[in-house]
C-alpha cells in the first residue's frame, strides 16, 4: 500500500509535469504566431498582443507610477516596437522575456526624454520570467544636445504633417493638446476603439518614417 507521503509526492510531480507541458505548449504556440507575424500576418501578432497585454500593462504601470497617464501609450508603443523587431527574435528564448525587455527599455527611454537626472529602483521589479533592474543617467549636458533636439523636433513635425489627416489629427490631439482617448473620441464624434486604432496606426507609420532619419527613435 502506498504511503500518504508517497501519494503526495506523486501529486506534486504530476502537477509539475503538467505545468511544464502547458509552458512548452505556450512556447510552441508563440513560436508559430511569431513565424506567421514575421511574414506580415498582422492577425497573428494581434493574438500575441492579446495574450501578453495584461502582463505588459502591469509591468509598465509599476515602472511608470509617476506618469500614470502615459501607461496606455507606452503599452501600445511597446507592441509596435516588438512587431517591428520580430525578425530579430531568437526562438531559444521565451517571447514573454523578450517582450518584457522591450517594455522596460522603452520606459527607460521615455524617462530619459523627460530629462530626469537619475532614476533608480532599490528593489528590482519581479516578473514571471525573473527580475528587471535598471538605472538611468542624464545625458543632457552634451554640448550638441540642443542642436540635435531641434533637428529631431523638425523631423518629427514633418513626419506628422505628412500623415493622412485622420491619423494626423488624433496624434496632434493626443501629444500636442494632451487630450485623453475619451476626450478625442468626444471631440471627433467617433468611437473610442476607432481613436485607439487610429493612434496605433499613426504611431506605426511615424515609427517607420522616423527610423530612417533618427536611428535612436523609439
> What per-residue confidence (pLDDT) applies to 156?
81
pLDDT, tens digit, for every residue of 160-173?
A: 888 888 888 888 88
Q: For the stretch 86-125, what's the b/e string if a residue is b when 16 or more beta carbons lie within 10 angstroms of its beta carbon?
A: beebeeeeebbebbbebbbebbebbbeeeeeeebeeeeeb
Half-sphere exposure of residue 144: CA atoms within 13 angstroms, side-chain side: 3
Q: How many residues does the chain have?
A: 218
81 CB-near residues (< 8 Å, 6+ apart): 102, 106, 207, 218
Q: For the stretch 152-170, what's the b/e string if a residue is b when 16 or more beta carbons lie within 10 angstroms of its beta carbon?
A: eeebbeebbeebeeebbbb
Helix (H, G, I), strand (E, B) or coil at 136: strand
Go through the domains of the chain in sequence order and give each one's CATH number.
Answer: 4-137 (1.10.1740.10), 145-213 (1.10.10.10)
Rounded Cα distance, 32 and 91, in Å = 10
Per-residue DSSP letter, 116 = -
Residue with cell 503599452: 75
Give Cα 214 to chain centroid, integer Å. 19
Rounded Cα distance, 175 and 70, in Å = 10
> What per-residue confidence (pLDDT) applies to 120?
42
Q: What is the pLDDT along the chain (218 residues), one digit of tens a residue?
A: 555 555 555 454 556 677 788 888 888 999 999 999 888 888 899 999 999 999 999 889 888 888 888 899 999 999 998 998 888 888 888 898 899 889 988 888 888 777 543 434 444 555 555 555 444 444 444 444 444 567 777 788 888 888 888 888 888 888 777 788 888 888 888 898 899 888 888 888 888 887 766 655 44
Do the Cβ atoms of 206 and 174 come closer than 8 Å?
A: no
Do the Cβ atoms of 4 and 61 come closer than 8 Å?
A: no
pLDDT, tens digit, for every residue of 126-160?
A: 555 555 544 444 444 444 444 456 777 778 888 88
Sign of the alpha-carbon dihedral angle for 12, 15, 21, 24: negative
> What are residue 137's DSSP bridge partners?
118
Per DSSP bridges, beta strands 125-127 and 130-132 are: antiparallel
Rounded Cα distance, 51 and 30, in Å = 10
> What per-residue confidence (pLDDT) applies to 130?
55
CA-nearest of 113, 120, 110 to 73 is 110
Amino acid at each position: 500500500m502506498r504511503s500518504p507521503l508517497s501519494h503526495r509526492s506523486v501529486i506534486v510531480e504530476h502537477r509539475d509535469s503538467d505545468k511544464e507541458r502547458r509552458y512548452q505548449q505556450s512556447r510552441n504556440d508563440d513560436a508559430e504566431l511569431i513565424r506567421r507575424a514575421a511574414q506580415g500576418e498582422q492577425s497573428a501578432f494581434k493574438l500575441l498582443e492579446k495574450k501578453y497585454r495584461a502582463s505588459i500593462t502591469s509591468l509598465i504601470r509599476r515602472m511608470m507610477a509617476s506618469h500614470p497617464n502615459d501607461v496606455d501609450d507606452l503599452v501600445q508603443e511597446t507592441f509596435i516596437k516588438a512587431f517591428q523587431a520580430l525578425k530579430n527574435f531568437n526562438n531559444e528564448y521565451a517571447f514573454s522575456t523578450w517582450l518584457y525587455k522591450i517594455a522596460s527599455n522603452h520606459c527607460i527611454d521615455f524617462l530619459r526624454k523627460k530629462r530626469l537626472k537619475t532614476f533608480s529602483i532599490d528593489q528590482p521589479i519581479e516578473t514571471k520570467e525573473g527580475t528587471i533592474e535598471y538605472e538611468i543617467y542624464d545625458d543632457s549636458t552634451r554640448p550638441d544636445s540642443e542642436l540635435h533636439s531641434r533637428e529631431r523636433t523638425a523631423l518629427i513635425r514633418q513626419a506628422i504633417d505628412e500623415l493622412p489627416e485622420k491619423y494626423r489629427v488624433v496624434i496632434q490631439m493626443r501629444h500636442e493638446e494632451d487630450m485623453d482617448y475619451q476626450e478625442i473620441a468626444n471631440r471627433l464624434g467617433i468611437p473610442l476603439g476607432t481613436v485607439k486604432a487610429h493612434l496605433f496606426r499613426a504611431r506605426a507609420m511615424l515609427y517607420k518614417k522616423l527610423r530612417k532619419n533618427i536611428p535612436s527613435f523609439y
